[in-house]
Amino acid sequence: MYSLNREHDLIRMTTPLNYDRTISVGISDMRVSNRVGDVLITYALGSCVGVAMYDAIARVGGMVHCMLPLSKADPVKAMESPCMFVDTGIPMLFNALRNLGASKENLVVKVAGCAEILSDNGLFKIGERNYTIVRKILWKNNILINGEHVGGNSSRTMLVDIATGRVIVRTSGEEVVI
């Protein structure tokens, strides 16, 4: 397990979030907001990956919670629930943010999850594969990951504060800003 924040090293949260509305992002789900006072939150990021994007100029942010790396594994399911898959969920998130005024050049991207929760003797490596596809999609679009808390074997909760773009990850009793 490791954490990376290109702006700061691991930071313990010292100030509480100040928000009016909590918006839950379910598994295979995506939410975006441009409302100051909103906090997006997703739970149970085990092998799943949470990707948060924020544009500080437009003050819009969003999060997607994807279960599996590639939609070709189940094209019918991908049509019904595109956020289930990394390769279809991330483009949906980007397009939704763009529709709210975000621009690719201003996006700050944070990633959490990608753990190996179930003991499968490394057979499936869903978390690792999810992370690989996230990096590949972002790289192909000239977008860098600015912070991450990925790997290991613990589930995570991820929050995005729309007012500030701050992303907080909670895991195993620890709370960090990435």
The residues, ordered by sequence, that sit 6+ positions from 72 with a Cβ below 8 Å of its Cβ are 78
pLDDT in tens, the chain (178 residues): 444 444 443 444 444 566 789 999 999 999 999 999 999 999 999 999 999 999 999 999 999 999 999 999 999 999 999 999 999 999 999 999 999 999 999 999 999 999 998 765 666 899 999 999 999 999 999 999 999 999 999 999 999 999 999 999 999 889 999 9
SS (H, E, C) 72-133: HHCHHHHHHCHHHEHHHHHHHHHHHHHHCCCCHHHEEEEEEECCCCCCCCCCCCHHHHHHHH
Nearest to 68 by CA among 59, 57, 78: 78
CATH of domain 2-177: 3.30.1330.200
Q: Hey, what are 1's tokens?
A: 């397990």
Q: Hey, what are 80's tokens?
A: 């019904």
Phi, psi of 43 (to 5 degrees): -115, 165
Task: Let me know: does 121 contact 84? Beta carbons within 8 Å.
Answer: no
Across-strand partners of 33? 61
